[in-house]
């Protein structure tokens, strides 16, 4: 069997053939760290973590890089509003990001580069584009000559003329063409800045990913991924910058996950329907949110509501109950059944069906349906008078195999004493920092795992519930 995936660049499914046999270079655009992440940020984190899991399951050596944008206009505005500096804010929300996506079952990337730690690479990249005639300096700003790159618009499938009709030069911009975009922005008074050949300033948004891909993964990669909203202009501009510099195809495959709506309306701050992961996982098992996200194919839009999440909870609990029943029956079977081989064959068919679903453009919705089929057959089997540990173990192993790729945990997670102490220390630190939302989140997390906290004058004590 081979993996096929939908390539945004060609608008069709293609057989996945990496640049180097057995290896995958994968880059996923990460968040701008000026606030807690919303569920729109959580979706790519979950989706592409699952894609990486499956590629590794299929035997690929995956080099996975996802960046942090830790300086830009949003961070500068947040710093002004809060009376803090940009590094302090970015550090706080990078830490919060790891806590939130970690709770969602996402593994860390192999590398999480930050813009501020890669300024030399970004400046060198811009300099090379100027030397090649693809960029120009204008009063401290540097712009990319969009019309100089012949393939501009190929990812979003728009022509230069179509793009030109909607382009405008905003007040303060000193570019030659309305289509040109900023590679470097001259610093305003009081703004965070770095020295460059064109004067003090900071990178434009698009250049950071091109520079970090080149530095950490090389001039060509297999998969570049992110949300659908990044297709244009962010990813389009990345292609232009990178291919103008190297003359090579930047990314072979482009994956984009669909939008999230809230109660059937597009999520936006202006509508006041902005939902933070930080808040959701205070009220719900983080695994439930992951299950909810994966229950829809990654390219399709998702509609989120509390009611839908509750419905998903009932479905998820059915799977966990089936798994729990298997564990409960294990080691208490009579080990006398004439249908062992038939049941073992049936269980193995679920593995094949799961792989067929995931090979078809990482169809997690169909993969989850395979889990329900597995649970149904497990329930049927447990109703038999004579059951065998061998078959029960095979059911459990198949549950674990599929769930681990999806990043789901079927059984209850048992916290070790050391894990509890570390979480309590994080909670104490949050309370010292007056971050009561995080403090409450950790308390609720521990409570959901049957850990009871008691705050005393001598410190926080804990015990396991009965």
Binding-site residue positions: 29, 209, 234, 238, 269
Burial string for 165-201 (b: 16+ CB within 10 Å, else e) reads eeeeeeeeeebeebbbbbbbbbbeeebbebebebeeb
Helix (H, G, I), strand (E, B) or coil at 144: strand
Distances (CA, A) of 121 to 128, 211, 288, 412: 11, 6, 40, 45
CA distance 186 to 201: 4
Identify any residues that bridge with 135 across adjacent strands, giving them in sequence order. Answer: 144
Q: Dmax of the chain from CA atoms?
A: 84
Check the CA dihedral 93-94-97-98 and report its sign: negative
DSSP 28-47: E---B-SS--BHHHHHHHHH
The CA dihedral of 416, 430, 65, 9, to the nearest 10 degrees, is: 120
Q: How many CB atoms lie within 10 A of CB 262?
A: 20
User: Which residues sit in the known binding site for ATP?
Assistant: 269
CA distance 289 to 280: 8
Helix (H, G, I), strand (E, B) or coil at 319: helix
Q: How many CB atoms lie within 10 A of CB 162?
A: 12
Contact 60, 18 (CB under 8 A): yes
Return the ∠ at Cα 30 (arms to 50 and 203), rounded to 5°: 155
Burial string for 56-84 (b: 16+ CB within 10 Å, else e) reads eebebebbbbbbbbbbbeebbebbeeeee
CA distance 203 to 396: 51
User: Which residues sit in the known binding site for Zn(2+)?
Assistant: 29, 209, 234, 238
What is the DSSP pairing of strand 141-144 with strand 181-186? antiparallel
């Amino acid at each position: 069997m081979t993996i096929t995936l939908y390539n945004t660049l060609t608008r069709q499914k293609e057989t996945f053939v990496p640049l180097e046999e057995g290896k995958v270079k994968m880059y996923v655009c990460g968040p701008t760290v000026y606030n807690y992440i919303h569920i729109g940020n959580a979706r790519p984190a979950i989706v592409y973590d699952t894609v990486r899991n499956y590629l590794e399951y299929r035997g690929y050596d995956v080099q996975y890089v996802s960046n942090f944008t830790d300086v830009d206009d949003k961070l500068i505005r947040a710093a002004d509003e809060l009376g803090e500096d940009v590094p302090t804010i970015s550090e706080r929300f990078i830490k919060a990001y790891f806590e939130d996506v970690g709770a969602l079952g996402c593994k860390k990337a192999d590398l999480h580069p930050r813009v501020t730690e890669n300024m030399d690479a970004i400046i060198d990249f811009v300099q090379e584009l100027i030397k090649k005639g693809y960029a120009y300096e204008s009063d401290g700003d540097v712009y990319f000559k969009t019309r100089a790159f012949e393939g501009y618009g190929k990812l979003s499938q728009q022509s230069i003329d179509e793009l030109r009709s909607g382009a405008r030069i905003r007040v303060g911009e000193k570019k030659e063409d309305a289509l040109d975009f900023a590679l470097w922005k001259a610093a305003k008074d009081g703004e965070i800045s770095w020295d460059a050949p064109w004067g003090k300033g900071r990178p434009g948004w698009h250049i950071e990913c091109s520079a970090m891909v080149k530095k950490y993964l090389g001039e060509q990669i297999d998969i570049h991924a992110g949300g659908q909203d990044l297709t244009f202009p962010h990813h389009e501009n990345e292609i232009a910058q990178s291919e103008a510099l190297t003359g090579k195809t930047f990314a072979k495959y482009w994956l984009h996950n669909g939008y999230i709506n809230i109660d059937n309306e597009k999520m936006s701050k202006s509508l006041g329907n902005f939902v933070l992961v930080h808040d959701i996982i205070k009220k719900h098992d983080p695994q439930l949110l992951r299950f909810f996200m994966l229950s829809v194919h990654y390219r399709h839009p998702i509609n989120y509501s509390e009611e839908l999440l509750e419905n998903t909870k009932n479905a998820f609990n059915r799977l966990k109950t089936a798994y729990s029943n298997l564990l409960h029956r294990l080691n208490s079977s009579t080990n006398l059944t004439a249908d062992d081989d038939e049941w073992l064959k049936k269980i193995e068919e679920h593995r094949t069906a799961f792989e067929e679903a995931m090979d078809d453009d990482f169809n997690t919705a169909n993969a989850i349906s395979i889990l329900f089929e597995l649970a149904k057959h497990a329930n049927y089997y447990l109703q038999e008078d004579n059951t065998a540990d061998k078959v029960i173990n095979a059911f459990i192993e198949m549950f674990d195999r599929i769930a681990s790729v999806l990043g789901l945990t079927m059984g209850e997670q048992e916290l070790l004493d050391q894990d509890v102490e570390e979480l309590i220390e994080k909670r104490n630190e949050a309370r010292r920092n007056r971050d009561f939302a995080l403090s409450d989140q950790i308390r609720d997390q521990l409570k959901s795992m049957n850990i009871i906290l008691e705050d005393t004058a001598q410190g926080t004590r804990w015990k396991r519930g009965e």
